[in-house]
Structure 1
Amino acid sequence: MWRKSSRSGSNGGQCVEVADNLPGAVAVRDSKDPDGPALLFTSAEWRSFISGVKSGAFDRLA
């Protein structure tokens, strides 16, 4: 089951959907293109990515 990111805007732009109910995997897709490609990550890769997001590892420097 796909769910939209809580950070996605309500205006329909820049939306990401995640399916984290897959055994051992997490899929990510662009909600504007539900029939398009999806990225597939292992659960460990996804946890590492989320950890990086939360720690600010991907924040842009001003």
Structure 2
Amino acid sequence: MTESTTTHKPLSGWEKPELDLSNADWQSSSRGTGDVQIAFVEGFIAMRNSGRPESPSLIFSPAEWRAFVINARDGEFDLT
């Protein structure tokens, strides 16, 4: 699997640091369609599309990640 060598630069107004994801330990969620990977980097959680690891990663604070996981489990993001 190819590792991303990009540095994530946050959008203006975000209170998140610039993270170097080049040495991140990416973990896969599954082997199915739409597979995502996550990595824990400098106290933040990065999430990327495993099919396009060169694409920008989403960066979550621990509180944002918790809210995302809870809402995903509750079906908030399910297609109806």
The two structures have a TM-score, normalised by structure 2, of 0.59
2:24 maps to 1:5: no
Question: Structure 2: any 5+ residue segments left out of the alignment?
Answer: 1-24
Instruction: Find the aligned partners of 1:53 and 1:14 in 2 and give their Cα distance.
Output: 14
Instruction: Find the aligned partners of 2:70 and 2:27 in 1 and give their Cα distance.
Output: 19
> What is the CA-CA distance between 1:59 and the residue it aligns to?
2.9
> What is the CA-CA distance between 1:46 and the residue it aligns to?
0.6
Instruction: Find the aligned partners of 1:52 and 1:36 in 2 and give their Cα distance.
Output: 24
2:45 maps to 1:45: no
> What is the CA-CA distance between 1:41 and the residue it aligns to?
1.0
Query: Taking structure 1 as reference, are residues 60 and 38 closer, same or farther at Cα in structure 2, changes over 3 Å only?
Result: same
Instruction: Find the aligned partners of 2:34 and 2:59 in 1 and give their Cα distance.
Output: 19
Query: Taking structure 1 as reference, are residues 33 and 60 closer, same or farther at Cα in structure 2, changes over 3 Å only?
Result: closer
> What is the CA-CA distance between 1:36 and the residue it aligns to?
2.2
The two structures have a TM-score, normalised by structure 1, of 0.72
Q: Which runs of 4+ in 1 moved over 6 A?
A: none
Could you say which structure has the higher helix fraction?
A: 1
The partner residue of 2:38 within 6, 11, 18 is: 18
What count of residue pairs does the alignment treat as equivalent? 56
| Identity rate, percent | 39
